[in-house]
Homo-oligomer: A and B are copies of this chain.
């Protein structure tokens, strides 16, 4: 299959591009390299060193004999996006090409506006390029489980049957996203759903959980093929942070009550899920939603698992001030059967997997910047600005 991978220089885009290439698909990576810019802006870096994109691609050719093509440019530039689609003539587009950090989107007005414009306009351009150049192209779009928020009922895969006052309909699942980043993904999903309905596009929306792990069959072939490992406060994820803290002998920092429960998956399963979606495409006019995670854990659970896996003694610092406004104890039961039905065989978060992550951190411990770990972005207004929106009003909103 001829496939464009948008955002193919990122944490997941890169190993996905390699995996699809290894399976014999013809892959073109589209990226504007901005993920590397965010690191420079924030003054942080991946724990694992990342080769420049052209070197990575060259190394892949060397190691595998397979060619990955590159197009460097910005999806918000419609002329660039149309040319990428017109020239590559893909049968499918995998779209990782968005700003994907919730804290980054919450830094200030500029970052909120940047995130929503970058993500929404980039995706609109991709949708229009597909519609006008070849509406049979299958758009596989990365969304997030965070689009749903944390309702007090089971989360379904994109749609829910509602019976109300004696009538029944199947409607889009209500969304309660928790940052301007998560909101941008909700906006995208709504835009794409509409395009499938009125233009007959075919799309799969992958509502992905939090991905962990840095090892795949392809990236393991050479150090220059490695993908990112982010542990900083803005782009890092909680499990990576805990692993770094454990190795560095710092207490694991649990913000808030620690009952925040998240769907999670191994990076290997991301690759498998995207591949399953591509190789079993949506029908013309179909907008389908897959919840892409394999297990769920609370932040507390993750801290305990890291503590258990660590060969050194580990302290857990719990109940720290939470930089986010979120439910810290909540119901969470989300469906994830559609990808399993297509044949997904999950790699679970075992002690062995965590030990591998700890070992990875150990190997790169000289590169750890412990100053990058403490939260720098607050969801709440500062006390001086905020006259009325105290915790009690927030709580009352949440209970409505």
Contact = CB atoms under 8 A, between A and B. Distances in A.
Nearest to A191: B183
A268 to B, nearest CB: 31
Interface in A147-194: 151-154, 159-160, 162-165, 167-180, 183, 186-187, 190-191, 194
A171 to B, nearest CB: 4
B153 A167 contact: yes
A387 B134 contact: yes
Q: Tell me the dominant secondary structure on chain A's binding face.
A: mixed
Contacts of A180: 124, 191, 194
B385 A135 contact: yes
A359 interface: no
B174 A171 contact: yes
Contacts of A131: 381, 385
Contacts of A124: 109, 112-113, 116, 180
Given A200-B393, A380-B199, A125 B151 contact: no
A180 B160 CA distance: 23
B151 A200 contact: no
A154 B164 contact: yes
Interface in A95-137: 109-110, 112-113, 116-117, 120-121, 124-125, 128, 131-132, 134-136
Contacts of A134: 387
Contacts of A176: 171-172
List the 3 shortest-distance A-B pairs measured between CB atoms, nearest first: A200-B389, A285-B393, A171-B174
Interface of A: 78, 109-110, 112-113, 116-117, 120-121, 124-125, 128, 131-132, 134-136, 151-154, 159-160, 162-165, 167-180, 183, 186-187, 190-191, 194, 196-201, 283-287, 325, 331, 379-381, 385-390, 393-394, 396-398, 400
17 contacts: A78-B113, A109-B125, A116-B187, A117-B117, A135-B386, A136-B387, A153-B167, A160-B162, A172-B174, A183-B187, A197-B398, A198-B325, A200-B381, A200-B389, A284-B388, A285-B389, A285-B393
